[in-house]
A and B are shown apart, each in its own frame.
Chain A
Amino acid sequence: AQSVTQLDSQVPVFEEAPVELRCNYSSSVSVYLFWYVQYPNQGLQLLLKYLSGSTLVKGINGFEAEFNKSQTSFHLRKPSVHISDTAEYFCAVSYNTDKLIFGTGTRLQVFP
């Protein structure tokens, strides 16, 4: 069975500082990996995805993530955050373009 663990429920950070949101997954088969962002009272928006190929994936809004198969991780990073990045971030896994299995989310709070 597949599962996703987001180790940090909240991450406070000052504006222009770097940030890393951690995600680990568990699966016995190859999976696709995703990061979604959810702003208050809105649906989920795709930030980036890993399907195959290069393990470093670049997404929108300056975010990137690195797939590490040996550590079964897919951590999300941004070198310099903005106030507007304050939101809930969800890591998700799917198998063969099927349903998404989400982690519990990490709330990123950016302070001025």
Chain B
Amino acid sequence: DTGVSQDPRHKITKRGQNVTFRCDPISEHNRLYWYRQTLGQGPEFLTYFQNEAQLEKSRLLSDRFSAERPKGSFSTLEIQRTEQGDSAMYLCASSPYYQDTQYFGPGTRLTVL
């Protein structure tokens, strides 16, 4: 069990560019969650998947954000036309369907200049 991994760990981009983050959950975990954490705040829920189905999206997830989990394994989070307000830590977590504990990855820190 290697834990949840995220790539990249850090991303610096210019305003208006598109970025994509990847999350690899713990193997055989059916549920995968994305959260966003800004400085001095707790993580905020963005969206989650059960297998390949996206079951819920937060209203924080504007049209510029899209998430996929095509084969029910890894997931990607894409932000189009980035804005400075998108600068944050993006956290991924996974859990087995029948359990309640979410295991978090180390996060991807996005800085939009």
Contacts and interface: CB of A to CB of B under 8 A. Distances in A.
Interface in A7-56: 32, 36, 41-46, 49, 51
B91 A99 contact: no
Interface residues of A, number: 24
Contacts of A49: 100-101
Contacts, number: 53
Contacts of B45: 99-101
Contacts of B91: 43-44
Nearest to A97: B100
A97 to B, nearest CB: 5
A102 interface: yes
Nearest to A91: B42
Contacts of B106: 41-43
B42 A104 contact: yes
14 contacts: A4-B42, A32-B100, A42-B106, A43-B106, A45-B104, A46-B102, A51-B100, A98-B48, A98-B56, A100-B33, A100-B43, A103-B42, A105-B40, A105-B41
